[in-house]
C-alpha cells in the first residue's frame, strides 16, 4: 500500500459497512454517531453535501468516543483543508480529478478516491491508490461488474457505494476485491429527524453483522 493511503485499510476493516451520512442539522450529528458506534459501525462518512457537514465532522471528532469520522464527497482543495482542520480521519471522493489528487499529495489524512471503470481504477493504481471507492456502485454495473475486475485488477480493493441496500450488501461483500461497502440505509432520514437513536443503533448492529 502506498504511503499516501497509510491507515486507510485499518479504517475500512473496522466493519463491513461504512455509514454514508447526509446531515442536515448539525445538532443530530453527535447522537447519530453515538448510535452508529454503539451498534458496531465506528467508521462514519459525513458527506460534504450540506451546510452542516463541516460542523458535524468537527463535533463527531471531538465528542464521540470510538468514532472514526471521515469526510465524504470531497471535491476540492478547500474541502480537503477544511476536513483535515475539522479532525477527519479519512476522506472519500466520488471520483478523482487531477486537482484533487494534487491537493492530497502531502496530506496527512488518507483519501479513498472513487472510480467507476477499469481505466479510472488503473489510473489511480498507477498513482499508488490500492484502495478505491467504486461509485456509483449499482448504476455502474453492481456486484457483477466488480467481480469481473477482481482478476485483471487484483491489486485493488474496493469499497462500493451508491444504491447499495441491506438486501444487496452481502453479494458485494462476498467478492474477493471488496473490503467493505458504503451505505445510507443504516441512518434513514426519517429516523434521524425523529431522533430514533435506538432504532438506528439496531440498524447499525444488524449491518455490523452482515456476512458475505
Question: Catalytic residue positions?
Answer: 45, 133
Peptide bond into 136 cis (omega under 30): yes
Cell of 67: 468514532
Amino acid at each position: 500500500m502506498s504511503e499516501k493511503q497509510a491507515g486507510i485499510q485499518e479504517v475500512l476493516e473496522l466493519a463491513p459497512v461504512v455509514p454514508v451520512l447526509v446531515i442536515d442539522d448539525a445538532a443530530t450529528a453527535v447522537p447519530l454517531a453515538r448510535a452508529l458506534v454503539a451498534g458496531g459501525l465506528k467508521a462514519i462518512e459525513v458527506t460534504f453535501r450540506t451546510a452542516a457537514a463541516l460542523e458535524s465532522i468537527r463535533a463527531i471528532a471531538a465528542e464521540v468516543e470510538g468514532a472514526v469520522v471521515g469526510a465524504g464527497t470531497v471535491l476540492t482543495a478547500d474541502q480537503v483543508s477544511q476536513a483535515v482542520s475539522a479532525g477527519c480521519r479519512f476522506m472519500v471522493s466520488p471520483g478523482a480529478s487531477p486537482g484533487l489528487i494534487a491537493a492530497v499529495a502531502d496530506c496527512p489524512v488518507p483519501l479513498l478516491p472513487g472510480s467507476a471503470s477499469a481505466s479510472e481504477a488503473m489510473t489511480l493504481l498507477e498513482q499508488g491508490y490500492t484502495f478505491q471507492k467504486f461509485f456509483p456502485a449499482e448504476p455502474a454495473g453492481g456486484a457483477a461488474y466488480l467481480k469481473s475486475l477482481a482478476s485483471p485488477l487484483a491489486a485493488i480493493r474496493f469499497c462500493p457505494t451508491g444504491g447499495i441496500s441491506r438486501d444487496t450488501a452481502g453479494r458485494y461483500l462476498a467478492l474477493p476485491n471488496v473490503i467493505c461497502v458504503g451505505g445510507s440505509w443504516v441512518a434513514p432520514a426519517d429516523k434521524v429527524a425523529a431522533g430514533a437513536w435506538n432504532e438506528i443503533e439496531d440498524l447499525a448492529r444488524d449491518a455490523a453483522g452482515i456476512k458475505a
